[in-house]
Every structure is written in structure tokens, then in C-alpha cells.
């Protein structure tokens, strides 16, 4: 270890001299081969303890990321195209690695000072960094929501569950760190600052470990298993979720139609198995693979953009909503309505199907009803909200446009919801809020 | 008029003597033929002014109702079966007539006293009567929601609009009376009491007039026009809305399947026209009848219990809800989800279709998710509510069972709604409540 620390110190000196990361990589290739990328954060923290300034060590981060990228390039992911979801996820990890490393460095510095003022200043810097690091959620969400379902479908559920557990821990710790840091800054306590620092150290370490697991195990696995139609889904859906990095310069586009997990034949071929990282291969060979063959789509299903529902389920779903619906088309004619199991709003009966909207109200309200329907159907107003009473219940009446996928307005809907229990219990509700 | 008042006075004396209404009807048949039922309230009010006690005059109400019934029996509705919706509506009107008449009598008494204490006592009695009279809504709702649509379909829309306007006025005045009465009683003011009394007089008169219009014009018209399949609908839907009178002893049941307004061929035959009350016949013959031939049902519609919707509308409707839906079946598998135009709750992507519910959450929440899903799917809990935060938004998460028409639980739905703007603006909302 001593030797490795000395090595990094010499690299630092070179960086100080003004050498570029690329130049250093070349010159220290042999030297660096003795240092695993995963060791660098620990060595950096050692340097902090020895009194090297954080600002100097930060320069090492770029080198670290560069090394990391090289380490990956040489292995299973060597064939990944620029802009492919795996490529973009790896690039996100580089960004994350750097943020996590910086956080860890400041945390080390914090743990090494006895000066309250300095500690609090460092802590403030750290809250800015964790503010950035919270975006890690956007990275994890793509992994959890887009990649894991395809693994689960193939019967690989342990890896997703373990990873999600660790990712979740990072998110929870980020929250804890922030609470602790705010308290430390408010109360000006070194103890609290150090507790926050300790959590930050853990966050830094755990993000780093997750990056390693993703780059070394998860991505090689899914890259070997998923076909392009699956990557197509992951690509399009990822773009909706967003990226931590600027992806505008990457040209990769899937050349096939997306397939969702429920569409795929969840088979792992021997060729695929052979390509898997050895850790995964061992697990799968030992425990066997039982693919998830559940068929979610049934005959007579109504096929929606976002899933399937049959008529019985649809009617049950409408009844289960806390909202009562009355839907009219562009001709101001009632097409359908629904009743809620949760409350009775305005009386509607089956005799209003086909009825003119304005005839469903007393003449006194006819001008208002016509005006609002026109405002919504013409797009003049995005929606309207009214509050009224039905008996002693406080009712929200929301009038909204119904649009087709092209955004064209094809109808207007009245959405009636009983808000009495919210209006009357705001303080209790605030107290009952759980952070999930 | 003098003569008629004397006649009623003599009847009153007989009632005082203990004679029954039936007995009196027989004995005074000739006498009463000179008094129109519609005149009785005015004569009664005259008697009040002459100092006859309200309690005595109240006895006349029964006679009035009995006369009224006879007057109707002899005309177009003579063939109506006991328990037929028209019969029940007429019986409701008898009940209403009596309440309205009693209200009018007390109102007359109130207008004739200068004693504040007595005035307020009368007013208190009157608020009890109007409390009963508010139920008139149940009568009007049946007329407005069940009878009018069939008339509108036949191109007869003026009569429904005019009647609804007057019915609405009664409801509005009942509200006004109550506000005024409460104020008068609180402030102990004779002026306010009299203002309330004046409104009550109007209510009494207007309810009476509406009863007359219904019994003499509306019911004979619809009885001549509607066929049994229409009365079947009106009967079944009326039973859901409820009746002002006890209907348990009536045996009438429709012998055909109900037809909703959108199903009928809106034709008025010459034979039907001939049977209509002369006022209606004149109007229809003068203005002509243009039936409403709008077809609400389209090809490819999803036929719901309560209307029609096509797939495009359904998807648009789901987006227009203030609620985000994630629906799973009894196997804990996600069947569909929806996104709301109003807010983003939890991230869902198309890759979760078919996914196990518990895999959609971090392992930390898996036990809770499984427990809640089991509680709901087993019927152990009717629903569950959780409050949480997404960013700085306050989110209500409602977990509810999805049931089929037989009440069998066929799935579980997560309903996510952003309640921030309500939680944060309770006072503004309370101020913005409109009584419609």
C-alpha cells in the first residue's frame, strides 16, 4: 500500500506540473497497472490524512475515471457502440464516480479537522455535492425500471433485488446525510458534522461499489443477454427518464422496433451463458434458470398504450377511482359516466347517456356549463376547477379536456372528487406523511 | 270568493265535530264542486287573516289532497296502475302538497303577527317543515334525470327546461329561506322573520303550482308518450334515487326490459298526439316536433354499464384524470398503468407491464407492498391510504380493490394524486366554494 501511495503522490506532482491526464496515463501505464481503479479512493483518503490538500487530489479524479474507463474497455463491453444505452450508463457512472470521489475526499478532510468553522464550511460544500449526487436516482431508475424487468423475465431476480437494495440504501443515506448536515450547520456542532461526514464516506464508498458492480457484472451480463429490440425499449424509455450526461452528440439509434418484457421469449442460450461474467455464470449454472413465462396479455383485452385491461377490469377500475367521471364528446353529448366506491358526488343516471351536456343542469347554470365546455373543447383554457358543496361534503369539480395521442381535443370530462377529509384534516395529514 | 270561504268554514266546523275526510267528501260533493282544488290554499290564507287558528285549518289539508286526487283521477291519468312511476310521482305530489300547504299556512300566520316571540316560534316550526320540504329534490331529480331525457329525445325540450327552471327556483328559495330564518332567529328581528316568511309563501305557492303543472300537464303527456320499456328504466332508476313515500306495498313491475333514451325511436304518433293535454298538443302542433336523432353509440365502442367509450377516448380520459393509476391483477402482476396530465407521481414505464408488483419497489418496501396487496386482494381491508412526498409535492397514495359487478375482487389498484395545492390552500379553497 505504501508503495502505491508513493506512486500516486508522484503522479500528483506531475499533475501539479501541468501534465495532462492522457500524457500521464501513457507515462505511468506500467506504474498504474499495479493500482486497481477500485483502490484509488482509499489511497486518496490516505493522502488526505497525510495532509495533502483536497484541491490537489481532486485532480486525480479525472485520472481515476480515465483508468476506470480503460479497465472496462478491455473487457466484455469492448464492442458497445457509442450512444448505446450501456455506453451511456457507463458514461453516467464516470460522472457519478467523480462526484462520489469528490464527496469522499471532502468527507475525509472533514473527519480530519477539529476546527468547527472549517468543518462546517466543508459540510456546506458537501451538501452542494450531494445535491448533485441526488441525481443518481435518475441513473438507478433506468436500471431498476428498464433493465431489471428483462432480467426478471429471464428468471434472474436475485441480482436485481440485491442491486436495488444497495441503490436504495444510497438514496436513503443521501437523505440522512442531508438531514444531519442541516442540523449540524444549524446547531454548529462538530459531533453532528462528523456524523454527517461518516454517512458521506459511506455514500461515496457505496456509490463506488455499485458503479463497480454495474460496470463489471450487470452491464456485461445484460449486454450479453438482451437483443436489440430490448435495447430499443431501454433506449427510448431512458430518453424519457433523462440522462445525467449530455447525450446529444451520440448517434446510436436502434434499428428494430422495441419489445417490452412481456413480449420476449425469456430464453438464455448456451452461447449467451458463455459470454456472461464468471460470477453470474456460476450463479446461474448452480441455481438453474427458471424463466418467468407468465402471460400478461389475455384474449379480449383492450390493448392500451400502457398495458392491458378487459371490460370487467375497466368497469371495476372506474368504480375504484376516488373520482366520479362524466365524459362528453365534442358534440357536447354525454358518452359515459362512472360512479365511485368512495363517494357520491352529483347524481347521474343511465338516462343521461347521449344527453346534451347543458340539459343535465338547471337553466340557471346552462350559460356557465356551455361556456366552460366551450373553453375546454376549444383549448382556450387548459382546465377549470370549481369547489362546491354536496350536503356537508366539500367537492372539487375539475373540468378537463380529453385529448387523443396527437394532442387533439376529442372531448371534455367532469371529474368530481370529495375532498372533505383532506380539507378538514390538513394537520393530521402533514403529520402522517411517510418518506418512502 | 266570499261564498267559497263560507263553504270551507262550514266544512271546518264539521271536521271539528269529528267528521272524517271521506264522510265530508261525500256530503259536500256538490258544495266542493264549486271550489277548485287550486283555490284552497288562497282561501285558507284568507281564513288565517280572519283569525282562524292554523291548527284548525291544517285539518283541511287532508281534504284538499283528497280533492286533488279526485280531480286527477277523473282525467288523463285514470288508467295508471297503482305503483306505476306516474302513480308514485302523483302520490309524492300529494305528500308535497300537504307540506307546502302547511308551510304556507304558517307563513300567513307569521305575516299576520306583530309579536316577535310568536313570529320566531312560528319561524322555528317553519324551518322544521322546510327541512322536510328539502326532500322535494328527490322528487325533482327523478323528473329531471329520468323523465326529461325521454322528452328531449322526442324533441320536446321547452317543457323540461321551463319546469327545471321553476324547480330550481324552489330549491334556491328553500336555501334562501333557511339562511334568512337562521339570521332572523339569531338576531331576533321581526323584519328578517317577515322576509323569511315572504320567501316561504313563495315556496309554498311555487311548489303548489309545480304540482299542478306536473299532474295536469307533464304526467299526462309522458303517460301518453312513453312505452313500458321507458317506464321500466324510470322505475328501476327511481328506486335507486328513492321515493318520498313508502312504496313497499305497491306491486307494479315492468314486464319488459328497460330502454334508455339513446335506444328509443323518438317518434310521436298521431294517436299519441291526440291523447296529449291540450296545452301540450297546441305547442307541439304549432312548433312542430323535431326529434333528437343523435346516435351516441358508435362502431368499435367499448360498451360499458354506464355508457360508451372508444379506445382513443379511454386513453385520453385516463390521461385527463388527476390520478395516476397502476393496476395489478390477482396474481400481483401489473396489467396497466396511466399517466396524468396534471402531475407526475411515481415513475412508471412500459417495461413494468406484466411485472410482479413487489419487484416494482425496493426490497426495503417489499414486505409492506406485499402485505398491503394481500390485505386489499383478500378484502381484509376496504382500502389503504398513505401520504408521502415526491420532491416537495404532497402525494396521496390510495390502494383500493378492483371488483367486478358481483363484488368479487379481481385486482388491486394504486391511485396516486398530488394534493399539494389543496393541502397548502385550504383557506382559499373554503372561500372559493360556490353553492351551485
Q: Do A317 and B327 touch (CB under 8 A)?
A: yes
Q: Which three cell numbers stand for residue A404?
A: 387523443
Q: Which of B6-10, B124-128, B210-214 has the highest mean pLDDT?
A: B124-128
| Identity of the residue in A144, A148, A313 whose CB atom sits nearest the CB atom of B335 | A313
> Going edge to edge, which strands form the sheet with B393-403?
A302-304, A307-309, B334-337, B323-329, B409-418, B393-403, B384-390, A433-434
Mean predicted confidence (pLDDT) in A255-266: 96
Using an 8 Å CB-CB cutoff, list chain A residues near B340.
none
Q: From the candidates B157, B176, B235, B336, which should be mutated to test the interface with A, based on the most A CB atoms within 10 A? A: B336
| Identity of the residue in B237, B322, B417 whose CB atom sits nearest the CB atom of A351 | B237
Q: Do A411 and B313 touch (CB under 8 A)?
A: yes
Residue B245 pLDDT class (50, 70, 90 cuts): very high
Beta carbons of B146 and A351 less than 8 angstroms apart = yes
CA distance B180 to B172: 12
Whether A271 and A123 map to the same domain: the answer is yes
Of B227, B250, B284, the domain-final residue: B284
Whether B197 and B264 map to the same domain: the answer is yes
Where residue A119 sits, what CATH number does that domain have?
1.20.120.520
pLDDT at B93: 93
Q: From the candidates B362, B407, B435, which should be mutated to test the interface with A, based on the most A CB atoms within 10 A? A: B362
Whether B236 and B310 map to the same domain: the answer is no
Residue B2 within a domain = no
Kindly report the average pLDDT of chain B as a whole number.
90
Q: Strand, coil or helix: what is B269?
A: coil
Strands B384-390 and A409-418: unpaired
B289-344 pLDDT, tens digit each: 889 999 999 999 999 999 999 999 999 999 999 999 999 999 999 999 999 999 88
| Identity of the residue in B320, B351, B355 whose CB atom sits nearest the CB atom of A401 | B320
| Identity of the residue in A237, A312, A402 whose CB atom sits nearest the CB atom of B349 | A237
Whether A277 and A323 map to the same domain: the answer is no
Q: Do B354 and A148 touch (CB under 8 A)?
A: no
Mean predicted confidence (pLDDT) in A177-197: 96
Kindly report the average pLDDT of chain A as a whole number.
90
Q: Strand, coil or helix: what is A309?
A: strand
Q: Which three cell numbers stand for residue A196?
A: 454527517
Q: Which of these, B303, B306, B361, lies nearest to B332 by C-alpha position?
A: B361
Mean predicted confidence (pLDDT) in B394-415: 97
pLDDT at A32: 64
pLDDT at A29: 67
**What is the ipTM score, two decimals?**
0.90
B99-128 pLDDT, tens digit each: 998 999 999 999 989 999 999 999 999 999
Residue B28 pLDDT class (50, 70, 90 cuts): low
Using an 8 Å CB-CB cutoff, list chain B residues near A381.
none
Whether B310 and B278 map to the same domain: the answer is no
User: Which of B286 and A271 is assigned the larger pLDDT?
Assistant: A271
Q: Do B355 and A400 touch (CB under 8 A)?
A: no
Q: Strand, coil or helix: what is B325?
A: strand
Which residues touch B257 (CB under 8 Å, ≥6 apart)?
A: B229, B232
Q: How many residues does chain A have?
A: 436
Task: Kindly report which listed range (A170-184, A320-334, B54-68, B390-404) carries the lowest average pLDDT score.
Answer: B54-68
Q: Do A311 and B320 touch (CB under 8 A)?
A: no
Beta carbons of A316 and B403 less than 8 angstroms apart = yes
Q: Strand, coil or helix: what is B335?
A: strand
pLDDT at B335: 98
Using an 8 Å CB-CB cutoff, list chain B residues near A347.
141, 145, 241
Whether B322 and B228 map to the same domain: the answer is no
Residue B23 within a domain = no
Beta carbons of A434 and B386 less than 8 angstroms apart = yes
Domain count, chain A: 2
Whether B236 and B314 map to the same domain: the answer is no
Q: Which of these, B335, B380, B360, B263, lies nearest to A312 by C-alpha position?
A: B335
Residue A435 within a domain = no
What is the secondary structure of A237-280 as a DSSP string? HHHHH--SS--TT-----SS----GGGS-----HHHHHHS-HHH
CA distance B66 to A12: 109
Is the pLDDT score of B23 beyond 80?
Answer: no
Residue A405 within a domain = yes
Mean predicted confidence (pLDDT) in A179-188: 96
Chain B nearest CA to A265, separation (Å): 13
Mean predicted confidence (pLDDT) in A411-418: 97
Residue B344 within a domain = yes
Of B235, B255, B284, the domain-final residue: B284
B47-82 pLDDT, tens digit each: 777 777 777 777 777 777 777 667 666 567 878 999
Q: Do B262 and A417 touch (CB under 8 A)?
A: no
Beta carbons of A180 and A195 less than 8 angstroms apart = yes
Chain A nearest CA to B347, separation (Å): 8
CA distance B285 to A62: 91
CA distance A75 to B349: 31
Whether B235 and B345 map to the same domain: the answer is no
Q: Do B355 and A411 touch (CB under 8 A)?
A: no
Beta carbons of A234 and A142 less than 8 angstroms apart = yes
CA distance A400 to A376: 7
Using an 8 Å CB-CB cutoff, list chain B residues near A167.
362
Which residues touch A214 (CB under 8 Å, ≥6 apart)?
A: A89, A93, A143, A163
Q: From the candidates A241, A298, A307, A356, which should be mutated to test the interface with B, based on the most B CB atoms within 10 A? A: A307
Counting beta carbons within 10 angstroms of the beta carbon of residue A222, is it exposed (0 to 12), middle (13 to 18) or buried (19 or more)?
A: buried
pLDDT at B284: 84
Beta carbons of A87 and A234 less than 8 angstroms apart = no
Residue A220 within a domain = yes
Where residue A364 sits, what CATH number does that domain have?
3.30.450.20
Whether A328 and A373 map to the same domain: the answer is yes
Is the pLDDT score of B383 beyond 90?
Answer: yes
Q: Do B429 and A394 touch (CB under 8 A)?
A: yes
Whether A210 and A310 map to the same domain: the answer is no
Residue B154 within a domain = yes
First to last CA, chain B: 42
Q: Taking the CA of residue A376 as centre, how many other CA atoms within 13 Å lie in the half-sphere pointing to its CB?
A: 26
Task: Give the CA distances from residue B341 to residues A167, A195, A232, B288, B393, in Å, rounded to whole numbers and listed in that order.
Answer: 29, 42, 26, 46, 16
pLDDT at B435: 84
Sign, Cα dihedral of B344, B349, B353, B355: negative
pLDDT at B32: 64
Using an 8 Å CB-CB cutoff, list chain A residues near B362.
144, 164-165, 167-168
Domain that holds residue B407: 304-427
User: Which of B287 and A74 is assigned the larger pLDDT?
Assistant: B287
What is the secondary structure of A314-326 as a DSSP string? HHHHHHHSSEEEE
Phi, psi of B337 (to 5 degrees): -145, 170
CA distance A380 to B206: 40
Is the pLDDT score of A157 beyond 80?
Answer: yes
Chain A nearest CA to B354, separation (Å): 5
Using an 8 Å CB-CB cutoff, list chain B residues near A356.
152
Share of chain B above pLDDT 90, in %: 70
Mean predicted confidence (pLDDT) in A202-217: 92
Whether A120 and A264 map to the same domain: the answer is yes
A67-80 pLDDT, tens digit each: 766 766 656 787 89
Using an 8 Å CB-CB cutoff, list chain B residues near A430.
394, 423
Q: Which of these, A358, A368, A403, A409, lies nearest to A388 by C-alpha position?
A: A368
Q: For B66-93, b where at least 16 C-beta lie within 10 A, e where not — what string?
A: bbbbeebeeebbeebeebbbbbbbbbbb
Mean predicted confidence (pLDDT) in A164-173: 96
Of A255, A285, A315, the domain-final residue: A285
Q: Strand, coil or helix: what is B433?
A: strand
Mean predicted confidence (pLDDT) in A104-128: 93
Using an 8 Å CB-CB cutoff, list chain A residues near B337.
306-307
**Placement of cell 307540506 in the chain:** B99
pLDDT at A75: 63
Residue B248 within a domain = yes
Using an 8 Å CB-CB cutoff, list chain B residues near A389.
433, 435
Whether A278 and A308 map to the same domain: the answer is no
Is the pLDDT score of B150 beyond 70?
Answer: yes
Is the pLDDT score of B356 beyond 90?
Answer: yes
Beta carbons of B291 and B155 less than 8 angstroms apart = yes
pLDDT at B30: 66
Residue A36 pLDDT class (50, 70, 90 cuts): low
Is the pLDDT score of B378 beyond 90?
Answer: yes
Amino acid at each position: 500500500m505504501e508503495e502505491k501511495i508513493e506512486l500516486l503522490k508522484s503522479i500528483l506532482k506531475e499533475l501539479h506540473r501541468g501534465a495532462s491526464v492522457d500524457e500521464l496515463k501513457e507515462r505511468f501505464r506500467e506504474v498504474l497497472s499495479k493500482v486497481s481503479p477500485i483502490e484509488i479512493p482509499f489511497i486518496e483518503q490516505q493522502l488526505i490524512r497525510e495532509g495533502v490538500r483536497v484541491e490537489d487530489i481532486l485532480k486525480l479524479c479525472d485520472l481515476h475515471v480515465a483508468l476506470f474507463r480503460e479497465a472496462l474497455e478491455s473487457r466484455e463491453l469492448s464492442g458497445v457502440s457509442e450512444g448505446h444505452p450501456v455506453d451511456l450508463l457507463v458514461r453516467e457512472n464516470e460522472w457519478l464516480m467523480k462526484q462520489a470521489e469528490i464527496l469522499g475526499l471532502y468527507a475525509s478532510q472533514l473527519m480530519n479537522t477539529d476546527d468547527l468553522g472549517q468543518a462546517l464550511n466543508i459540510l456546506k460544500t458537501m451538501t452542494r455535492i450531494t445535491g448533485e449526487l441526488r441525481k443518481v436516482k435518475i441513473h438507478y431508475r433506468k436500471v431498476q425500471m428498464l433493465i431489471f424487468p428483462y432480467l426478471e423475465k429471464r428468471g434472474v431476480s436475485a441480482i436485481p433485488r440485491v442491486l436495488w437494495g444497495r441503490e436504495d440504501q444510497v438514496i436513503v443515506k443521501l437523505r440522512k446525510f442531508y438531514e444531519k448536515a442541516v442540523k449540524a450547520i444549524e446547531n454548529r456542532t462538530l459531533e453532528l458534522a462528523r456524523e454527517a461526514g461518516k454517512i458521506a464516506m459511506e455514500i461515496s464508498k457505496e456509490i463506488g461499489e455499485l458503479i463497480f458492480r454495474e460496470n463489471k457484472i450487470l452491464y456485461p451480463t445484460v449486454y450479453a443477454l438482451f437483443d436489440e429490440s430490448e435495447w430499443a425499449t431501454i433506449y427510448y424509455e431512458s430518453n424519457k427518464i433523462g440522462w445525467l450526461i449530455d447525450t446529444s452528440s451520440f448517434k446510436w439509434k436502434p434499428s428494430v422496433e422495441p419489445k417490452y418484457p412481456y413480449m420476449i421469449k425469456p430464453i438464455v442460450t448456451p452461447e449467451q451463458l458463455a459470454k456472461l461474467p464468471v460470477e453470474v455464470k456460476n450463479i446461474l449454472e448452480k441455481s438453474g434458470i427458471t424463466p418467468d413465462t407468465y402471460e400478461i396479455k389475455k384474449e379480449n383485452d383492450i390493448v392500451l398504450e400502457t398495458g392491458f385491461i378487459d371490460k370487467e377490469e375497466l368497469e371495476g377500475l372506474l368504480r375504484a377511482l376516488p373520482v366520479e367521471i362524466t365524459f362528453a364528446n365534442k358534440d357536447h353529448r354525454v358518452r359515459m359516466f362512472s360512479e365511485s366506491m368512495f363517494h357520491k358526488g352529483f347524481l347521474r343516471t343511465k338516462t343521461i347517456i347521449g344527453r346534451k351536456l347543458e340539459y343535465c343542469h338547471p337553466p340557471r347554470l346552462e350559460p356557465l356549463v356551455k361556456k366552460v365546455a366551450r373553453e375546454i373543447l376549444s383549448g382556450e383554457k387548459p382546465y377549470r376547477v370549481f369547489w362546491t358543496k354536496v350536503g356537508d361534503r366539500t367537492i372539487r369539480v375539475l373540468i378537463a379536456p380529453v385529448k387523443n395521442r396527437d394532442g387533439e381535443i376529442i372531448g371534455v370530462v367532469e371529474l368530481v372528487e370529495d375532498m372533505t377529509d383532506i380539507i378538514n384534516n390538513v394537520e393530521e395529514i402533514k403529520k402522517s406523511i411517510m418518506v418512502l
